[in-house]
Structure 1
Amino acid sequence: MAKKTSIKSTRIDEAGSPSQLIDAKITELGDWRGEMLARVRGIIKQAVPDVVEEWKWRGVPVWEHAGIICTGETYKAVVKMTFAKGASLDDPSGLFNSSLDGNTRRAIDIHEGDKVDEKALKALIRAALALNTSTKKKPKKA
């Protein structure tokens, strides 16, 4: 059986590294959503230079460091950044505008033409990292 080459029809475990899959998703979108996903990705990497990129749940970019920081989902009318522990984060700039009723997650829906407050977003990403590292189980002493 021949291996298919398009990202849409290729099994994720055969298509490359998570970073390559995210690159391909950005290219495949080919519109404002791809541009915004690339921009958000750049902001995340600036905020946490050693962030780990993952590809989970059949096509969702995920950024991790000591746990999930956030995901970058794309829909027809929105790019959604979901923060895994967003309900536990202070959001003084009011970036969270979606998934506000849950006990754990919070999200930012970015629509076409929205301006992204990079400084506030970096602060939120760094706060998520700080929360991840503060709650990570520490090894027991011998």
Structure 2
Amino acid sequence: MKESGAQEDKSPSELIDGRIKQLGDWRGEMLSRLRALIKQAAPEATEEWKWRGVPVWEDAGMICTGETYKAVVKLTFANGAALPDPSGLFNSSLEGNTRRAIDFRQGEEIDEEALKALVRAAVALNRAKARR
């Protein structure tokens, strides 16, 4: 989805860069770190900019969104309920039948290997669904 005005000609990746810079605090730094881990785990994933400013990563379907709030940066996995989470990363939106999320708070460490495994599992699930 294209934003109106000056953002109209920017790519989704440029818009995400702009959001990170605009935040200018720990949330921008956290979103940038999470973005880098997603790219490492799913190098073929594309970045999208949807719903008036939400970064979205896709590979054969939606992997996750990266939302920023006052107290958290939230990664919401579109099909998180169907993903294995042996490290227990999911800590939000646990009541639903489809989505699961991870809330990252200021100063929290990221279990990088567990997050990358979760991203790879989401891509594998998307690709398996696409083959059906």
Smaller-chain TM-score range? Answer: over 0.9
Query: 3-state SS of the aligned residue for 1:136?
Result: helix
State the TM-score, normalized to the length of structure 1. 0.88
Structure 2 counterparts to residues 98-113 of structure 1, below 5 A: 98-113=92-107
Q: Distance in 2 between matches of 1:136 and 1:42?
A: 25
Query: 3-state SS of the aligned residue for 1:109?
Result: strand
Q: Distance in 2 between matches of 1:120 and 1:34?
A: 21
Q: Distance in 2 between matches of 1:132 and 1:103?
A: 17
Which residue is equivalent to 2:116?
A: 122
Q: 1:98 to 1:67 in 2, by over 3 A?
A: same
Root mean square deviation, CA, Å: 1.5
Query: 3-state SS of the aligned residue for 1:73?
Result: strand
Which residue is equivalent to 1:135?
A: 129
**Gap regions ≥5 residues in structure 1:** 1-8
Deviation at 1:75, TM superposition (A): 0.2
Which residue is equivalent to 1:44?
A: 38
Higher relative contact order (CA 8 A, sep 6+): 2
Which residue is equivalent to 1:77?
A: 71
**Gap regions ≥5 residues in structure 2:** none
Which residue is equivalent to 1:5?
A: none
Structure 1 segments of 4+ aligned residues over 6 angstroms from their partners? none
Deviation at 1:124, TM superposition (A): 0.3
Q: How many equivalent pairs are there?
A: 130
Q: Give the structure with the higher percent helix.
A: 2
Percent identity between matched residues is 68
- Which of 9, 24, 35 is residue 29 of structure 2 equivalent to? 35
Q: Distance in 2 between matches of 1:132 and 1:21?
A: 25
Deviation at 1:25, TM superposition (A): 0.1
Structure having the higher Rg: 1
Q: Is 2:98 aligned against 1:91?
A: no
1:38-94 CA-to-partner distances (Å, cap 9, x unmatched) read: 000000000011110000000000000000000000000000000000000010000
Query: 3-state SS of the aligned residue for 1:91?
Result: coil
